[in-house]
A = this chain, B = another copy of it.
Amino acid sequence: MKPNSESGSKRVKTVAGAGQGTIGKSSGNKEMLESCGIKLTRQRLDLLEQLKKADGPITAEQLFLNLREEAAAISLSTVYRILDAFELKGLVEKVVSADENKAIYELNRHEHGHHLICTQCKVRMTITGCPLAGYEEALARSTNYRITGHRLEVYGLCPKCQSELGML
């Protein structure tokens, strides 16, 4: 996919300021960023808004495309940079999936959870709660490692794909 090669916009220079009044669509965002110590920017507000709309795991490029559809001026590199910044401040969680070669981002719910991924249609749902509660301590004892975290992805067939595949 070559996301830059659509929507004829070449240089945005003079056009770039097009959204001065647009700042703060959903007003919580402004405070949200400020409380994280993140400088306010039209792009950052737009991206945050978009993350909320997505309401779930989403890829950097999809965020970029969604923003473009709404005529929000932003570049793909900026999307990546902002996502990095957000992650650093704990605003978003970045997940590197094993079966896709791209990173997935989602607003940090601040509750530990994992993804359940349909191997057919690739939808992911976030499952909260974690089966590894006691396990880490046991592992620490048996290995002498100091356990600091883990990553778990569960794969399966979602109900829809199960029926579409004829309950094989």
Contact = CB atoms under 8 A, between A and B. Distances in A.
Interface of A: 95-99, 101, 116, 118-119, 125, 127, 131-132, 135-136, 139-140, 143-159, 162
B156 A148 contact: yes
Contacts of A119: 148
A127 B125 CA distance: 27
Closest 5 CB pairs of A and B: A145-B156, A131-B135, A147-B156, A96-B98, A150-B154
A118 B99 contact: no
A140 B155 CA distance: 11
9 contacts: A96-B98, A132-B152, A139-B154, A140-B156, A143-B156, A147-B156, A150-B154, A151-B152, A151-B153
A154 B159 contact: no
A144 B118 CA distance: 12
Given A96-B99, A131-B132, A147 B155 contact: yes
B145 A158 contact: yes
A129 to B, nearest CB: 10
A149 B155 contact: yes
Most B Cβ at <10 Å: residue of A95, A144, A162: A144
